[in-house]
Chain A
Amino acid sequence: MIAMHFLQASVGWIRGLIAGQLGLAADALWVDLAIWLISALVILGVVQVGMLYATWLERKFLGRIQDRLGPNRVGIFGLLQPFADMVKMLTKEDITPAQAHRGVFNLGAILVVPPAIVVFAVVPVGIGLIATDLSVGFLFFISVASTAIIPIFMAGWGSRNKFAIIGAMRAVAQIVSYEIPQVLSVVGVLLLAGTLSTQGLTLAQGNGGAGDAIGYPGLWFVLIQPIAFVIFLLATTAEIERTPFDIPEAESEIIAGYHTEYSGLKFGLFQLSQYFMTIASAAMASILFFGGWLAPLPFLQRIGPLDLGWFWMGAKTIFFVLVFMWFRGTWPRLRSDQLMGFAWKVLVPLSLANLLMTGLIGYVTQSSTNLSGQPLLILLFFAVANALLLMATLWLIGWWRKNSERPRIRFEQAAAGELPPAEVAA
């Protein structure tokens, strides 16, 4: 709590400093504008550098997974490689195909970046350290991220290239489908936290927040909602089109999907937005399920007067970025129909069942006076319910696969002469 007071005081101090520089009262409109501008610049700077080193990290990490070194020529450990790549990308020739719809083609590349930056406005890194603490923060993230479909469509259509159009159609079908389990899985968390604000969601997992609603302060939602977390992580991987869900740009099938025709800087913009969205999604996963900027243990939250919120937020974000890269390094790409089937036949029903379960247990535990002071009992409830749900799901999937594969098995048996002739005829 002392750290929080200190931070609030320091935010007030920054406000006063800016007001002093501008010669205005501390609550003047211009001071607000200046603070917004500064937070925007800070976000841009941090995310930009983060993106550059995410590419470096990805190449190093994938190299490690694949038992090779990764970039190691430019600078120590290849640390300057991102800058070399940037220069290479910027100096390439900028081509607009002759048949392309010039306006839509160029606008598509430009518009793909803003949504990926704007979502960072609702990522908190400490008390008061958030660009705008919207009361609908999580919905804001989802809706802004969903607008990224439009530039993809524009890129695909504007390129006048069949691979680009196929890629765009695949991307849009995929993003629209996976949005549903992504949001539905989080609704359980929102129910328990009782808020949509990202700052509120973080605080709900801390001491004395809405975590009290389930009677156990300081509990990360991943412990209460493990299935929801897995669904969210998978759906998010599909949303940001990373392997194994990168079918829209599967290079072995449709060249590079919707950005086939882009070169140089415009191709760089697509890369940029994809890494931005990866970082933003990693941040959102840590906010929703891993306590955001809260430390794992309360005494790690600060050193002396220094609040370590930014450190924990950054550490968790990098952890999830690494998880996304780990997915890429270890899983093969899905087929298009498998991808859609996975969303609609597995993730959507599972997230609905999870929502039902959460609502039921949340209602029972919140309305029962005997249970409200028994955090471990409630945690046990959720653990048992999650385990049951998981077992039921796995059994259903196994049953379904056995049944869907029966014709093939029978065919193979028939081919091997293992079936009696009467059954073969039937």
Chain B
Amino acid sequence: MSPLLLQQIAFMVLAAISLSGAWGVIRAHSVFVSALWLILSFVGVAGLYVMLEAGFLAVIQVLVYVGAISVLILFAIMLTEDVMGQAEPASQWPLAVLIVLPFFGMLAKAAFTADWQLSAGSVAPPEGASISAETAKLVTTAIPAEQGFRLPGQVVMLGRSLMTEHLLAFEVVAVVLLVALVGAIVIARD
């Protein structure tokens, strides 16, 4: 068994986890069980991030989606549902299928046929690998020259990227989060 095949098997398993989780969301009879399936789906997607060599993002996905958003959802279910309650059966499903299936077909066709202009790059090498000065400038615009060109890890590069290229978006998101938090408290309190 080659590493290639192992990777493909891992992908299959993770894809199956995330898709079956999503399927469970729409098939479960109770809202609470739906939420549990949703969590399974989140975990599967985190695994796919690991396969895409975005380890930091995978951890953040688990931390935010599984550890926070799911908990919010579960809390909301507990606060709004009769605990024993069963969800109503899905309404308007034929119409929804009519919309979703062509939509799925369209996206799938696009995924197959589009020219994605793939590139064969590898993600940054291990933290601390020594690189040339030119590479340092190319890979990340923000490494000060006096740091001796030890390549920082992906997390450091992400941080630099957030604080340089994407600074405006970063600040806007921060403000949005603050406003959302205050707003949520104002809305939800008696």
Contact = CB atoms under 8 A, between A and B. Distances in A.
Verify whether A and B have any Cβ pair under 8 Å.
yes
Interface of A: 29, 101, 104, 134-136, 139-140, 142-144, 146-147, 149-150, 153-154, 157, 160, 165, 169, 172, 176, 179, 194-197
Contact of B155 (A101, A135, A154, A169): A135
Nearest to B127: A135
Nearest to B70: A150
B33 A143 contact: no
Contacts of A147: 62, 66-67
A68 to B, nearest CB: 40
Interface of B: 2-3, 6, 30, 32-33, 36, 39, 55-56, 59-60, 62-63, 66-68, 70-71, 74-75, 78, 83-84, 127, 153-156
A261 to B, nearest CB: 14
Contacts, number: 74
A194 B159 CA distance: 11
Contact of A150 (B6, B39, B59, B75): B39
Contacts of B78: 157, 165, 169
Contacts of A196: 155
A146 B56 contact: no
Nearest to A158: B32
A139 B71 contact: no
Given A147-B62, A165-B78, 6 more contacts: A104-B36, A153-B74, A157-B74, A160-B83, A172-B71, A179-B67
Interface centre among B2, B55, B63 (most CB of A within 10 A): B63
A150 B66 contact: yes
A157 to B, nearest CB: 6
Contacts of A139: 56, 59-60, 63
A147 B30 CA distance: 21
User: 7 tightest CB-CB pairs across the interface, nearest first?
Assistant: A146-B67, A143-B63, A143-B62, A135-B153, A139-B59, A143-B59, A136-B59
Nearest to A154: B36
Nearest to A153: B74
B148 to A, nearest CB: 13
Contacts of A101: 30, 33
Contacts of A143: 59-60, 62-63, 66-67
Contacts of B154: 135
A172 B56 CA distance: 25
A169 B78 CA distance: 9
Contacts of B3: 29
Contact of A195 (B60, B83, B153): B153
A102 to B, nearest CB: 12
